[in-house]
Every structure is written in structure tokens, then in C-alpha cells.
């Protein structure tokens, strides 16, 4: 059946479409208010509060906002690494040095991204992170994350696993994006915690 798994559950493609449709209905004011509360809850999470290095990302569009959190981490002296999208969809990294260090980059066939302008540190720089913030569209009660489907963070997670690194994996979402069940595959990596405007929840 088109759009569903063999057991009748929606496919990841259908779920992505549905979650994105809900996000597209959010107003700018909704997103700004959520970003401030998300940052407050995230900073209370020991995995982030105690991290010396955090690999994060710059939110775009209607994604749960990260920029308040990035500034708060940077201000408290945490080293923040931000991704730089490579032509093969892998991620390089560079240090975040404040809002003025971000530049707008339009990648062929993709949405415009805000990326750090500093020296590239290489794809393996993420191995230095004590915590990794992952973009996502939803998470279920087992910590299974629904990503956007581009594969960039699958590569990051595989790189972490191969190296034996074990940073805290944290996803920032809206409350309605924490659900009972999501389809998961053998290569998927469950996250350790989710932060929403209602608070934080751990999965291990």
C-alpha cells in the first residue's frame, strides 16, 4: 500500500510530510517563544550543562529554534561546533563564535543554511563533542528519531559509532512531535534525550 509499511503504519516519507505540514503552520511569534523556552530547558539538562564541547546546528525556517541556545552555550564558555554541508551531504565542522560568525549559504537544490565562517576542522571534529544536538522531526518513546531523510546525520552517527565515541545525543522538538511509535531500521541510532517547550525527557 502506498504510503504505509506492511503492517499498515505510515512510512517515514509520509510522516515527514505530515510533521513538516504542522510546522509550516507555526507563526514567527510561536517559534520565537518556543526557542526561548527550549534553550532554558536544554541548559538545565546535565548532558549539555556539563559538556565542554557541543556539536549543534543552526535552526532554519520553522525548526525548533537553536540560536538562543547557541548563544547561551557560547557565553558560558562551552565550545560549540556547527556543521558545514559538504557536496556529498557529509558534514564538516567549524567553531561558533557568535551570530556575526554565521554566513548564509545556498547549496545546490537545498534550502539556504546558516553556516559558520571559521576554519574548517574536518568531519572527524564531531568526535570531540561531549553532546551532539541532532535536528529531527519527531521522536518516539524509545528514543527513535525521525530525521529529514538527507542522510547527513546518519553519517555523523555512524562516524561516532565507528570511533567508539559515546556523546549524549539530544534532539530539540515541539511537544506534538514526541509520539508513541516511529518506524526504525537497524542502522538507526536512538537518542538519549529530547527537549521540548514542556521540558526534557531521557530515554536511558
Is the sign of the CA dihedral 43, 91, 202, 178 positive or negative? positive
What residues form DSSP beta bridges with 113? Answer: 105
**DSSP character string of 122-138:** -GGGGGG-SEEEE--SE
- Check whether 13 is labelled as a binding-site residue: yes
- Check whether 194 is labelled as a binding-site residue: no
- Check whether 143 is labelled as a binding-site residue: no
- Check whether 173 is labelled as a binding-site residue: no
- Check whether 3 is labelled as a binding-site residue: no
- Check whether 202 is labelled as a binding-site residue: no
- Check whether 149 is labelled as a binding-site residue: yes
Cβ contact 54:128 at 8 Å = no
- Check whether 110 is labelled as a binding-site residue: no
Query: Can you point out the beta strands (E) in 33-87?
Result: 53-55, 79-85
Cβ contact 23:34 at 8 Å = no
Cβ contact 51:41 at 8 Å = no
- Check whether 112 is labelled as a binding-site residue: no
How many CA atoms does the CB half-sphere of 113 hold within 13 Å?
15
Spatial separation of the C-alpha atoms in residues 52 and 33, rounded to whole Å:
27
Angstrom distances, CA of residue 4 to CA of 121, 180, 198, 199: 41, 17, 31, 32
- Check whether 109 is labelled as a binding-site residue: no
- Check whether 146 is labelled as a binding-site residue: yes
- Check whether 152 is labelled as a binding-site residue: yes
Could you list the residues known to form a binding site, using ranges: 12-16, 58, 63, 145-153
Could you list the residues known to form a binding site for ATP, using ranges: 12-16, 145-153
Could you list the residues known to form a binding site for substrate, using ranges: 58, 63
Amino acid at each position: 500500500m502506498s504510503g504505509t509499511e506492511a503492517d499498515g503504519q505510515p512510512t517515514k516519507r509520509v510522516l515527514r510530510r505530515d510533521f513538516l505540514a504542522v510546522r509550516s503552520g507555526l507563526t514567527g511569534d510561536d517559534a520565537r517563544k518556543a526557542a526561548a523556552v527550549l534553550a532554558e530547558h536544554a541548559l538545565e539538562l546535565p548532558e549539555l550543562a556539563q559538556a565542554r564541547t557541543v556539536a549543534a546546528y543552526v535552526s532554519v525556517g520553522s525548526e525548533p529554534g537553536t540560536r538562543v541556545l547557541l548563544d547561551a552555550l557560547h557565553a558560558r564558555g562551552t565550545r560549540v561546533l556547527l556543521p558545514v554541508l559538504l557536496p556529498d551531504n557529509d558534514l564538516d565542522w567549524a567553531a561558533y563564535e557568535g551570530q556575526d560568525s554565521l554566513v548564509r549559504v545556498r547549496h545546490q537544490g537545498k534550502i539556504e543554511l546558516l553556516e559558520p565562517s571559521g576554519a574548517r576542522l574536518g568531519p572527524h571534529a564531531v568526535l570531540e563533542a561531549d553532546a551532539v544536538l541532532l535536528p529531527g522531526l519527531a521522536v518516539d518513546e524509545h528514543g527513535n528519531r525521525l530525521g529529514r531523510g538527507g542522510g547527513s546525520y546518519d553519517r555523523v552517527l555512524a562516524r561516532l559509532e565507528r570511533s567508539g565515541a559515546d556523546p549524549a545525543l539530544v534532539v530539540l522538538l515541539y511537544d506534538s512531535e514526541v509520539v508513541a511509535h516511529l518506524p526504525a531500521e537497524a542502522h538507526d541510532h536512538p537518542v538519549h534525550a529530547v527537549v521540548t517547550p514542556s521540558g526534557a525527557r531521557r530515554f536511558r
